[in-house]
Amino acid sequence: MDFLRPASWEEALAAKAEHPTAVPIAGGTDVMVEINFDHRRPGHLLDLTRIGDLYDWERGERSVRLGASVPYTRIMSELRADLPGLALAAHTVASPQIRNRGGVGGNLGTASPAGDAHPALLAAGAEVEVASAARGTRMIPIDAFYTGVKRNALEPDELIRAVHVRRADGPQQFSKVGTRNAMVIAVCAFGLALHPETRTVRTGIGSAAPTPVRAAAAEEFLAAALEEGGHWESGKTVPPSVARQFAQLCSGACNPIDDVRGTASYRRHAVGVMARRTLMWTWESYRGARRTTEGAA
Amino acid sequence: MRVTFTVNGRPQEADDVWEGESLLYVLRERLGLPGSKNACEQGECGSCTVRLDGVPVCSCLVAAGQAEGREIVTVEGLAEHARERARAAAPRTSDTTGASDPSGSGPGASGTAGTPLDAARAWRAHGADPHTGDGTELAPVQQAFIDAGAVQCGFCTPGLLVAADEMLERNPNPSDADIREALSGNLCRCTGYEKIMDAVRLAAARQGEAV
Ligand SMILES: Cc1cc2nc3c(=O)[nH]c(=O)nc-3n(C[C@H](O)[C@H](O)[C@H](O)COP(=O)(O)OP(=O)(O)OC[C@H]3O[C@@H](n4cnc5c(N)ncnc54)[C@H](O)[C@@H]3O)c2cc1C
Ligand code: FES
Ligand code: FES
């Protein structure tokens, strides 16, 4: 095995081009488990921890460009206002020790259907910035990023540079079912973001299909119901029938399996419950925010 | 490959390191520092917790090569680390000339400070002897674990000590929720955690009295 230690992004891309089977290692919280248990014996490990750029984030007008290796701990403390859904999701990952090392680049690299960043990214709206030495930079919409169980849209010579996550224009929530608070892989998870600027809602479902998915039909239904009822202007409560239908459509977007963590029917049910709850929570904060802005005006 | 890094304030070198080896393995098997425990090798138990450039991490999930040039603190260096911190925080008493303290660079700074490898290898946890007052070499959090009876088999203890000490450094007045959160990555099969909570509360209270 060779241990490659590029000191810059350009060097990293050159190394990946030269050794397309090299396994990038950032926080190592997925890669090292595989190596420790002999599940993986790559010819080359490509260490990304010397590349400072990957640990920076920048706030743009509409989105945050989040370096691939910014650890979850910093997402929680530094980006709670801009990326509330992702910050909430980050807080549910593993333990402080893991959150100090692991980040969204590694979560995307692994592309596990249970990865906690995915529902939050799908709900907020995001693009993955990837690059190769041969072809330069390209942006992959988050909806096109997950291509199969633990498979993503990266080419062998590409690395993830950053994720551009839309800054929140409304309340966001993240909810996860597991056996306890810390150190659990999601039985299933749900992210919801209200986008009052465009009067849309976006969702993200984790661990309930071969890849993380959005519940497109549920999103359309809810946006139409909120529009028709004049809810965005009035801020009035979402009728229970609408919430129920939204929950059902979210359950319907699942394509889960039975496994040791839960059965398919439990997952479908739980996603519906989380959809209804996160809708209530986010809508309550939308109403609350409206009241305070109106009060101030 | 060779890995050169700082462990407990002293430069160290490990040779013939396999490229897929973990930092935990290097510490235990190559440097002879078995304080950090190996219980799961998959990040679940926290018994291998060390500070990497100040940050608590599972050393079983850090590739040895990633530690190149970095600063590690293990449980063997915790007492010295705590002493350095106390020294750096202590108000200067004879500072009438206005000259600044050249060694006031805080924990982790290299120089003459730190725990030599031989001393770290020979390190033993002596509790404070109520008769002799011996045992001042323990970090406050270590003493508190002994006094509160938070150690049974002791396998989880090194990781808990490193994690708890780091929390107390950041947050001198932790709530119970803060303590639980900070220690949520450390499993203990023996104690049921209550005595561990007592120990960290005790360490926090003593730290508060000392200032
Ligand atoms: C005990 C434990 C508990 C966990 N709990 C959770 C949890 O609750 N929720 C959750 O979502 N995850 C969990 N994980 C998994 C893991 O922590 C996350 O997936 C984390 O985000 C991985 O990030 P990393 O930087 O450590 O990735 P690494 O292990 O360094 O890399 C992961 C994958 O991504 C690739 N990669 C990394 N960076 C790049 C890049 N810039 N470009 C291209 N490819 C890249 C690597 O080659 C590898 O395939 C847990 C892991 C452990 C050990
Ligand atoms: S041995 Fe590293 S977390 Fe268990
Ligand atoms: S595991 Fe035995 S004392 Fe914690």
Segment (H or E) for A234: helix A231-234
The pLDDT of residue A291: 78
Share of chain A above pLDDT 90, in %: 95
Interface contact flag, B63 A32, Cβ < 8 Å: yes
- Domain spans in chain A, listed from the N-terminal domain onward: 2-166, 172-296
**Between the CA atoms of A64, A68, A72 and A76, what dihedral angle is there, to the nearest 10 degrees?**
-10
CA gap A266, B96 in Å, rounded:
71
**Would you mind telling me the total number of residues written for chain B in this entry?**
211
In a domain? residue B61: yes
From first to last of the 211 residues of chain B, give the pLDDT tens digit. Answer: 999 999 999 999 999 999 999 999 999 999 999 999 999 999 999 999 999 999 999 999 999 999 999 999 999 999 999 999 999 987 765 544 444 444 444 444 444 567 788 877 776 666 544 443 345 589 999 999 999 999 999 999 999 999 999 999 999 999 999 999 999 999 999 999 999 999 999 999 999 887 6
pLDDT band at A295 (very low <50, low <70, confident <90, very high): low
Residue A152 dihedral angles phi and psi, to the nearest 5°? -135, 180
Residue-wise pLDDT tens digits, A50-98: 999 999 999 999 999 999 999 999 999 999 999 999 999 999 999 999 9
- B56 assigned to some structural domain: yes
The pLDDT of residue A176 is above 70? yes
Does residue B8 lie in a domain region? yes
Q: Read off the pLDDT band of A182 (50, 70, 90).
A: confident
Q: Could you list the residue range(s) of the whole structural domain that residue B64 is in? A: 3-75
Burial of B93 (0-12, 13-18, 19+ CB in 10 A): exposed
The amino acid at B102: P
Report residue A186: phi and psi, to 5°: -60, 135
For ligand 2, atom 3, name the residue with the nearest CA.
B43
User: Any chain A CB within 8 A of the CB of B40?
Assistant: no
Residue B37 lies in a domain: yes
Residues of chain A in contact with residue B68, where contact means CB-CB under 8 angstroms, are 5
* pLDDT in the model for residue B62: 98
Determine how many CB atoms are found less than 10 A away from the CB of residue A241: 9
Q: How is residue B76 annotated by DSSP?
A: G
Whole-number Å distance, alpha carbon B168 to ligand 1 midpoint, is 28
**Residue A195: pLDDT over 60:** yes
At A111-153, the pLDDT tens digits run 999 999 999 999 999 999 999 999 999 999 999 999 999 999 9
Question: Is the Cβ atom of A102 under 6 angstroms away from ligand 1?
Answer: yes
What pLDDT shows up at residue B127? 54
Q: Are strands A44-47 and A2-4 parallel, antiparallel or unpaired?
A: parallel
pLDDT in tens, A246-281: 999 999 999 999 999 999 999 999 999 999 999 999
d(Cα A275, Cα A203) in Å, to the nearest integer? 9
Q: What percent of chain A has pLDDT over 70?
A: 99
Q: Between these two residues, B99 and A290, which has the higher pLDDT value?
A: A290
ipTM surpasses cut 0.90: yes
Residue B110 lies in a domain: no
Distance from CA of A36 to the nearest CA of B (A): 7
Q: Give the Cβ contact number of residue B176 at 10 Å.
A: 10
Q: Return d(Cα B170, Cα A26) in angstroms, integer.
A: 25
Nearest by CB to residue A28, choosing from B18, B49, B62, is B62
Domain tally for chain B? 1
> ∠ at Cα A44 (A40, A48), nearest 5°?
100
Of chain A, the end-to-end C-alpha distance in Å amounts to 64
DSSP, res A6: -
B69: domain CATH number? 3.10.20.30
C-alpha to C-alpha distance for A163 and A236, rounded to whole angstroms: 35
Q: What pLDDT is attached to residue B108?
A: 41
Using most ligand atoms within 8 A of CB, pick from B40, B74, B157, B160 the residue to mutate for ligand 2.
B40
pLDDT for B208 equals: 85
User: Looking at residue A26, what is its pLDDT?
Assistant: 98
Q: What are B134-144's pLDDT values in tens digits?
A: 455 899 999 99
Question: What is the whole-number distance in angstroms between the Cα of residue B157 and the centre of ligand 3?
Answer: 7
Q: Classify residue A19 by its DSSP letter.
A: -
Q: Which amino acid is at B47?
A: S
Over range A31-54, report the average pLDDT: 97
CB A271 within 8 A of CB A205: yes
Contact A28 B19 (CB under 8 A): no
Residue B48 φ then ψ, to 5°: -100, 15
pLDDT, tens digit (0-9, with 9 covering 90-100), for A92-103: 999 999 999 999
What distance in Å separates the CA atoms of residue B127 and residue B115, rounded to the nearest whole number? Answer: 19
The CATH H-level superfamily of A172-296 is CO dehydrogenase flavoprotein, C-terminal domain (3.30.390.50)
Mean pLDDT, chain A, as a whole number? 96
pLDDT confidence band for A297 (50 / 70 / 90): very low
Q: Which distant-in-sequence residues (6+ apart) come within 8 Å of A220 by Cβ?
A: none
For residues B1-27, one letter each, b for 16 or more C-beta atoms within 10 angstroms of the residue's C-beta and e for the rest, the string is bebebbbbbbebebeebebbbbbbbbb
Would the CB of B27 count as within 6 Å of ligand 2?
no
Instruction: Classify domain A2-166 at the CATH topology level.
Output: 3.30.465
Confirm whether B143 is domain-assigned. no
